[in-house]
Structure 1
Amino acid sequence: MRKIVIAGNWKMYKTQAEALEFLQGFMSSLEETPEEREIVLCAPFTDLGIISKSLHGSRVQLGAQNVHWEDAGAYTGEIAAPMLVEIGVRYVIIGHSERRQYFGETDETVNKRLLAAQSHGLTPILCVGESKQQRDAGETESLIVGQLEKDLIGVDQHNLVIAYEPIWAIGTGDTCETKEANRVIGLIRSQLTNPDVPIQYGGSVKPENIDEIMVQSDIDGVLVGGASLQPASFARIVNYK
């Protein structure tokens, strides 16, 4: 059975005080959900330590938003896998479209980060997806297949989550139609050697559309941006029926 992974990506939001305030409201709103439903909070680096202590013993897992491919070195502004493991991080987002768009991330560096994360027991959440221009040009399928071919070289598909994030639907309020998202995720699954890799949808996921998203046959969870910043909003997503 494929695992369901519901992950919140806080991006560059929340001080430590704000993170603790969020947890107070969020943890008290969690309902009993199936064991195979994993809950992950991917927070800024400065929040990880204090969140780790607060989540100790809970069912919520801690995630980071990036990791470097070296264990140590002269890489100002980067974070190494051993640093994340030491404070209890279990998941790490790699190749998010914002990293690719704003910070020069390439399929080559994504692959190196994936391998580094897995070598230290972290589970990477690999993000793939197309821009509006690429979709309009009919390049969605070829682009995503190309990303997967390059990103997954040497990667252990038994310790991996993939997130399909149509870039044109991130933070825009536009959500890819659920059947279309399911189709693309089915395409992604067809390219994998392990059919049980959890594949998420990410792109303007909200409490109002979570139920429709999660009834789709190939969607195994969601990567949530803005809606993960409010305790009640993210709790409703996590508690979907």
Structure 2
Amino acid sequence: MKQSVKLVAGNWKMNGLGASLTEVEVLRAALESEPAACRVALCPPATLIERMARAAAGSPIGVGGQDCRAETHGAFTGDVSAAMLRDAGATLVILGHSERRQGHGETDLLVSAKAEAALGAGLEPIVCVGETLQQREAGQAVDVVRSQIMASLPLVLAGRDFAVAYEPVWAIGTGLTPTLEQIEEVHRAVRAAMIERLGPGIAATPILYGGSVKPDNAAEILAVPEVGGALVGGASLRGADFLGIIRGA
């Protein structure tokens, strides 16, 4: 199936101080010397978004947030709205990551509301789905991600720029990775659910894989049918390691 240009996005999670922006300089220099075949983005903590956007200005590196509030403004101490992310220089935002779903009790309906808010602020949502180890062992992986797709993707996404990221919860930060066959099976199921939910017009929307993606396994994962990029955690913290993954695309 034809897909858009792959997207490789790095999720720094709760890592990074001002000094970490030297990694952006390393990545920028490499990509300007030898352009990537894919889109590239970094999603740092909110404290670094504006500084990273300045460091990446005019380069091929997009900058994103790691979450946003569904409401546009209000008495929500400690939260950040989609418009605030956009104002700081972000162009993308990760939504529904398993660490938010499990650690903060986020539901599919909340993720859907956040995706609408992101679109309203001019951000490109990256909506995450994925099963736990218990669900995988029970043979429920496909059913779980299908259910998440159907409830987490608002209908307003049809015809808009967005991505879905499949991240098996049990593979995030563990060093464990599904087989290539398992990745392909779930990505095909995600594609079918996306088309059922939003129509055939999203057939080129990228489906990223995330979960212990490293320079030494990126190329084979990114070559799997229906894998339209990667959502990278720890390996995105160092420019050289992240570049190795980007080159695999």
Shorter-chain TM band: over 0.9
Q: Which residue of 2 is the match for residue 42 of structure 1?
A: 43
TM-score, normalization by structure 2: 0.92
User: Do the aligned partners of 1:5 and 1:221 also contact (CA within 8 Å) in 2?
Assistant: yes
Shift of 1:116: 0.3
Aligned AA (1:85):
R
Q: Which residue of 2 is the match for residue 33 of structure 1?
A: 36
User: Do the aligned partners of 1:125 and 1:163 also contact (CA within 8 Å) in 2?
Assistant: yes
Q: Which residue of 2 is the match for residue 209 of structure 1?
A: 217
What does 1:167-182 align with in structure 2 at a 5 Å threshold? 167-182=169-184
**Structure 2 stretches lacking a partner, 5+ long:** none
Aligned AA (1:228):
S
TM-score, normalization by structure 1: 0.95
Q: Which residue of 2 is the match for residue 198 of structure 1?
A: 206
SS at match of 2:183: helix
What does 1:3-18 align with in structure 2 at a 5 Å threshold? 3-18=5-20
- Rounded to whole Å, the distance in 2 between the matches of 1:155 and 1:144 is 20
- Rounded to whole Å, the distance in 2 between the matches of 1:76 and 1:176 is 38
- Rounded to whole Å, the distance in 1 between the matches of 2:155 and 2:223 is 32
Shift of 1:52: 0.7
- Rounded to whole Å, the distance in 2 between the matches of 1:17 and 1:108 is 37
Q: Which residue of 2 is the match for residue 160 of structure 1?
A: 162
SS at match of 1:205: coil
SS at match of 1:168: helix
Q: Which residue of 2 is the match for residue 118 of structure 1?
A: 119
How large is the RMSD of aligned CA atoms in angstroms? 1.2
SS at match of 2:174: coil
SS at match of 1:29: helix
SS at match of 2:155: coil
- Rounded to whole Å, the distance in 2 between the matches of 1:115 and 1:2 is 22
Aligned AA (2:193):
Q
Going by fraction, where is helix more abundant, 1 or 2? Answer: 2
- Rounded to whole Å, the distance in 1 between the matches of 2:184 and 2:123 is 27
Cα displacement string for residues 156-201 of structure 1 (whole angstroms, at most 9, x for unaligned residues): 1332100000000000000111221011101100112221110000
User: Do the aligned partners of 2:28 and 2:56 also contact (CA within 8 Å) in 1?
Assistant: no
- Rounded to whole Å, the distance in 1 between the matches of 2:133 and 2:188 is 20
Cα displacement string for residues 95-123 of structure 1 (whole angstroms, at most 9, x for unaligned residues): 00000111111111111101100111111
- Aligned-pair identity in percent equals 40
User: Do the aligned partners of 1:114 and 1:155 also contact (CA within 8 Å) in 2?
Assistant: no
Number of paired residues? 238
2:109 equivalent to 1:101 = no
- Rounded to whole Å, the distance in 1 between the matches of 2:91 and 2:154 is 22
User: Do the aligned partners of 1:68 and 1:78 also contact (CA within 8 Å) in 2?
Assistant: yes
SS at match of 1:223: strand
2:234 equivalent to 1:226 = yes
